[in-house]
A = this chain, B = another copy of it.
Amino acid sequence: MAKRQVTLDEVAERAGVSRSAASRAINNAPNVSRVKREAVQRAVEALGYVPNATARALATQQVGSVVLAISGEDPALLADPFFAEVVVGISSVLEETDLELVLSLATSERGQARLAQRLRTRQADGVMLMSLRENDPLAALAHQADVPVVFGGRPLGFEPSYYVDADNRCGGRAATEHLVATGRTRIATITGRLDEGAGTARYQGFQDALAVAGLDASRIVQGDFAEDGGAQAMGELLARWPDLDGVFVASDQMAIGALRVLREAGRSVPDDVAVVGFNDISAARHTVPPLTTVHQPIQALGREMARMLLAVLAGEQPSPLILPTRLVVRASS
């Protein structure tokens, strides 16, 4: 540990050139002669020189990292397969660049404060913000941020310049239409959090479809996207509308909880009650019965967020992106 760092000066000396020449050679700037470039090359190898990123960052005013901030009070949020997939997408893009990914769970007060500071002091070159709540303090931060911000999902209450979202409304509609098309008439929904864009959009899709079909859209219980919440919501639904024959659940995680409750209540799926989820997480294929759900390209969401941020960083002005969703019919409906 704590070996002394080999500095650029040492390389320069060894190569018998000036420090600036060495610097140019290393960052392969154009104005360096062949011989010097090669001399520097050799010196670098010989000395095992590796540039100090911090110093470089200080000099260039570029940090070399971007942060992914996830809002929400529960640190376990990240364990949600949805976010995990998003992270995979993001890091697959970032791996091709020299940027690194800083994970910022802005759950505690402290976490929020830290994030705020980072955003204001350009301690990151860019920020990706996910799953903002309505009136989320992070939104304010984003506005005064010193660095580009890309949103994952459209936040409620304002339209950011850069975001990538899935077509949640359309997906919710497709899911519900499917229930209608398969003959269900007493259709309920377990919504996601209605203070998040994805939650409201999916719910709107639900309303859209039932309005067109002329069906009653009042069977609704609000959930929270998580499994236990889904179970609880299903219980409530069953208690209030025991005659329901179809339910659109705004996330697969909740749908898994709902399936459990339905089973415990002795309702057969899909015979008594058809269930359609949302997200198409990998677990959806293995529920019993396998879950009909709305597929959204989660990894792609992450990838596109990262790409968009890169584009902004490169001085471009990419336009917002809406990724398509599509219904995947399995046995639960």
The residues in A between 180 and 203 inclusive whose CB is less than 8 angstroms from any CB of B are none
Q: Is the CB of A103 within 8 A of B105?
A: no
Q: Is the CB of A54 within 8 A of B105?
A: no
What chain B residues lie within 8 Å of A105 (beta carbons)?
91-92, 95
Q: Is the CB of A101 within 8 A of B102?
A: yes
What chain B residues lie within 8 Å of A123 (beta carbons)?
52-54
- Rounded to whole angstroms, the CA-CA distance of A227 and B111 in the bound complex is 34
- Rounded to whole angstroms, the CA-CA distance of A55 and B63 in the bound complex is 11
**Quick one: which of A53, A79, A88, A117 has the most chain B CB within 10 A?**
A79
- Rounded to whole angstroms, the CA-CA distance of A295 and B260 in the bound complex is 22
Contact residue among B3, B79, B287 (Cβ-Cβ distance under 8 Å from A146): B3
Identical subunits present: 2
Q: Is the CB of B87 within 8 A of A103?
A: yes
- Rounded to whole angstroms, the CA-CA distance of A53 and B102 in the bound complex is 15
Q: Is the CB of B79 within 8 A of A84?
A: yes
Q: With an 8 A cutoff between CB atoms, is A19 at the interface?
A: no
Question: Assuming the A-B contacts A54-B57, A103-B103, A282-B227, are A95 and B79 also in contact, with contact meaning beta carbons closer than 8 angstroms in the complex?
Answer: no
Q: With an 8 A cutoff between CB atoms, is A65 at the interface?
A: yes
Q: With an 8 A cutoff between CB atoms, is A120 at the interface?
A: yes
Closest B residue by C-beta to A101: B103
What chain B residues lie within 8 Å of A91 (beta carbons)?
75, 78, 103, 105
Q: Is the CB of A111 within 8 A of B95?
A: yes
Closest B residue by C-beta to A263: B288
A-B contact pairs, 5 of them (CB 8 A): A1-B145, A3-B146, A78-B88, A79-B87, A100-B104
A binding-site residues for B, Cβ under 8 Å = 1-3, 5, 50-55, 57-58, 63, 65, 75-81, 83-85, 87-88, 91-92, 95-96, 98, 100-105, 107-108, 110-111, 114, 117-118, 120-123, 145-148, 227, 256, 260, 282-283, 286-288, 299
